[in-house]
Amino acid sequence: MKTVNKKERVQQEVICNEDQFGHWGDPENEKFFHPKPKVLNIFPIEGKAEKLVEEVLKRDLTKVIKFRFDPINVCNLACVFCTTDLQAKHSQISLDSFKKILEKTSNTCKRISIGCSYEPLMAKNIDEYLLIAKEIISKNFKEKPIVTMITNGLLLEKRKLKNLGFLDWIHISVHSHIKENFEKIEQKAKFEDLVAGIKDIRTKYKDLNIHIEFVANKENKNDIEGFIPWAFNELKVDSLNIRRVSISSYAPRSYLEQSLKKNMLIGISDEEWNDVQFKISKSWPSKLSTTPSFNSEDQILKKQAMTDVIEL
């Protein structure tokens, strides 16, 4: 996808890369409605919440391996590097639609990710989606898929979730352990709420794999050495990944587009990234490295300075 100007549609050179259905950068473009997809990207479109569900249910879903699902198209934060269009009007996919797709993909789907482009905890009834997934998987699926939820974690305490323990892992994006930097990057967030939310689920769900994703950017590149021991020792998370911020493509109306227009410095140079990697290798003592108990190669965190990017 190319960098876009506000009025342009997002351009994509390769159509349906890896047989994907749905494209968050150009949701209504039928070019992205693959007839026999392996990957589903299903999210609500502004004013047409069920459009992608209706379209996908008309396709042959017998080859689906991965189901990426966003129940809702909004977020409570405004991260300075976020590539998603978060100015759209609130729209939500129904529980019944989620159930139908799960049922149709139950023979082949190995991976279900909830909340890939927006914020899943903004759905007040998010716990019901987790419950439906749990029920359909135990009733219809031949093999249990790996189920994860990707969230900024801010509403964890407020939602009082009962079904989190069913997840194989929860992926929480946290970009600094220094309140001032955290709130500068994750605009509208309150650092104390995040910490309380993670500590709350750590206490309630002893066996849940809590994974932290840190996106290294201009603002937090010097926080990493301190962040790693803080995440493991203070938050008691199970795994951690440091990912380099990407600024090459983004949706129109995204916060990244706004930041770049204001000439904010977001990206980091190759030299800075090398420096980050060097610092990580020093601040990541082996006792702090943990490997979550996942089987597939793409999820295994290795005991090295830079972990592999965790696929969503």
Ligand X SMILES: C[S@@+](CC[C@H](N)C(=O)[O-])C[C@H]1O[C@@H](n2cnc3c(N)ncnc32)[C@H](O)[C@@H]1O
Q: How far apart are CA 136 and CA 109, in angstroms?
A: 12
Answer with the entry of ligand X, ligand SF4, none that 213 interacts with (C-beta below 5 to 8 A by kind).
Answer: ligand X
Q: How far apart are CA 229 and CA 236, in angstroms?
A: 9
- Which positions from 171 through 190 interact with ligand SF4, judged by CB under 6 A? 173
In whole angstroms, the minimum distance from the beta carbon of 12 to ligand X comes to 17
Answer with the entry of ligand X, ligand SF4, none that 194 interacts with (C-beta below 5 to 8 A by kind).
Answer: none
164 lies in the binding site for ligand SF4 (CB under 6 A) = no
Q: How far apart are CA 296 and CA 47, in angstroms?
A: 37
In whole angstroms, the minimum distance from the beta carbon of 77 to ligand X comes to 7
210 lies in the binding site for ligand SF4 (CB under 6 A) = no
Residue of 10, 16, 150, 260 that binds ligand X (CB under 6 A): 150
Answer with the entry of ligand X, ligand SF4, none that 245 interacts with (C-beta below 5 to 8 A by kind).
Answer: ligand X
52 lies in the binding site for ligand X (CB under 6 A) = no
119 lies in the binding site for ligand X (CB under 6 A) = yes
Phi, psi of 264, rounded to the nearest 5 degrees: -70, 145
215 lies in the binding site for ligand X (CB under 6 A) = yes
Q: Which residue has the tokens 């090295």?
A: 304
Closer CB to ligand X, residue 84 or residue 106? 84
Pairing mode, strands 78-79 and 39-42: unpaired
Q: How far apart are CA 78 and CA 213, in angstroms?
A: 17
- Please enumerate in sequence order all residues whose Cβ is within 8 A of that of 96, keeping only pairs 6 or more positions apart, or say none: none
Q: How far apart are CA 97 and CA 88, in angstroms?
A: 21
117 lies in the binding site for ligand X (CB under 6 A) = yes
219 lies in the binding site for ligand SF4 (CB under 6 A) = no
82 lies in the binding site for ligand SF4 (CB under 6 A) = yes
240 lies in the binding site for ligand X (CB under 6 A) = no
106 lies in the binding site for ligand SF4 (CB under 6 A) = no
- Please enumerate in sequence order all residues whose Cβ is within 8 A of that of 287, keeping only pairs 6 or more positions apart, or say none: none
Task: Describe the strand order of the beta sheet including 169-173 as a list of residue ranges.
Answer: 20-21, 39-42, 66-69, 111-114, 146-151, 169-173, 209-216, 239-244
Piece of the chain touching ligand X by CB under 6 A; list 77-85, 93-101, 234-242, 288-296: 77-85
CB 266, CB 218: distance < 8 Å:
yes
245 lies in the binding site for ligand X (CB under 6 A) = yes
Element (H, E) at 73: none
Residue of 82, 86, 154, 251 that binds ligand X (CB under 6 A): 82
Tell me the residue nearest to ligand X as measured from the CB.
173
Closest CA to 288 of 245, 234, 243: 234
In whole angstroms, the minimum distance from the beta carbon of 75 to ligand X comes to 6
Q: How far apart are CA 212 and CA 171, in angstroms?
A: 6
In whole angstroms, the minimum distance from the beta carbon of 256 to ligand X comes to 6
Q: How far apart are CA 236 and CA 212, in angstroms?
A: 10
Q: Return residues touching ligand X (CB under 6 A).
A: 75, 81-84, 115, 117-119, 150-152, 173, 213, 215, 243, 245-246, 256
Q: Return residues touching ligand SF4 (CB under 6 A).
A: 75, 77-79, 82, 84, 86, 118-119, 152, 173
